[in-house]
């Protein structure tokens, strides 16, 4: 029912001309939003390019913007999922926040990548949607990830453990109480972890009618060329967008 509601809103918006220019086709679309009001990751262009390539290969179109003015009810209705790609700080005003909340409540999808948890600290709805807020991080280094759910589309391609290099976030709270944890960090395999034995690093949830997926990976340019990380990101997008 939620998916039907979202598709109805999408159809009405397209009839009314609410979609962005060039968004008139009937296939699924994903919006990548990468506005920053704090630290800016040099990997943002690589992330946009990777998501565009994933969409081209897997049947969904991708638009990318840093224009918060795209966050209106009519325009957001044209998308199956919104990806917050390394956003930082306060990136939406009150009206734009309200439009995004309505989009999620209508069944829309949210994907948070890396510093999406370093975004909108004073917006309670967003805090619940993303699942946790960033606290601190050590230097970029290799670590071992323990995969808890090997059936979810974002992690089904992985083994029981996943070795990779990234900037490993610590979080202010443990998201496990409100989210389904897909993977955790083994803090014994790197230095600088502060969360102990339970350190979620990727999770998902149904929230307020919509779907939310978050991965803390994606700090480095190199991450977006890794086949396993690209499949992880693809699975999260497809799940949030209800394409799988």
Give 205-234 pLDDT, tens digit per residue.
Answer: 999 999 999 999 999 999 999 999 999 999
pLDDT of 12 over the 70 cut = no
- pLDDT exceeds 70 at position 117: yes
Sorted by sequence, the CB contacts under 8 Å of residue 124 that are 6+ apart come out as none
Per DSSP bridges, beta strands 61-65 and 29-33 are: parallel
CATH topology of domain 2-132+202-240: Rossmann fold (3.40.50)
pLDDT in tens, 69-108: 999 999 999 999 999 999 999 999 999 999 999 999 999 9
| DSSP code per residue over 121-184 | TT-HHHHHHH---EEE---SEEEEEEES-SSSTTTTTS-SEEEEEE---EESS-GGGTSEEEEE
pTM: 0.91
């Amino acid at each position: 029912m939620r998916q039907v509601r979202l598709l109805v809103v999408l159809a009405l918006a397209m009839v009314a001309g609410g979609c962005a220019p060039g968004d008139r086709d009937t296939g699924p679309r994903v919006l990548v939003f990468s506005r920053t009001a704090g630290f800016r990751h040099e990997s943002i262009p690589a992330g946009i390019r990777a998501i565009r390539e994933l969409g081209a290969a897997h049947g969904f179109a991708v638009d990318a913007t840093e224009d918060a003015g795209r966050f209106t009810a009519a325009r957001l209705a044209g998308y199956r999922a919104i990806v917050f790609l390394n956003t930082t700080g306060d990136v939406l005003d009150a009206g734009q926040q309200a439009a995004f909340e309505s989009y999620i409540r209508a069944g829309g999808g949210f994907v948070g990548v890396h510093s999406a948890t370093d975004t909108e600290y004073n917006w309670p709805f967003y805090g619940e949607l993303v699942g946790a807020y960033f606290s601190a991080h050590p230097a970029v280094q290799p670590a071992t990830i323990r995969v808890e759910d090997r059936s979810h589309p974002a992690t089904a391609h992985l083994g029981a453990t996943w070795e990779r290099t990234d900037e490993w976030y610590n979080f202010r709270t443990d998201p496990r109480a409100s989210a389904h944890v897909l993977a955790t960090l083994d803090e014994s395999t790197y230095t600088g972890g502060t969360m102990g034995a339970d350190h979620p690093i990727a999770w998902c949830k149904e929230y307020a009618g919509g779907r939310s997926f978050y991965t803390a990976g994606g700090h480095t340019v190199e991450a977006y060329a890794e086949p396993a990380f690209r499949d992880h990101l693809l699975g999260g997008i497809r799940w949030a967008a209800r394409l799988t």
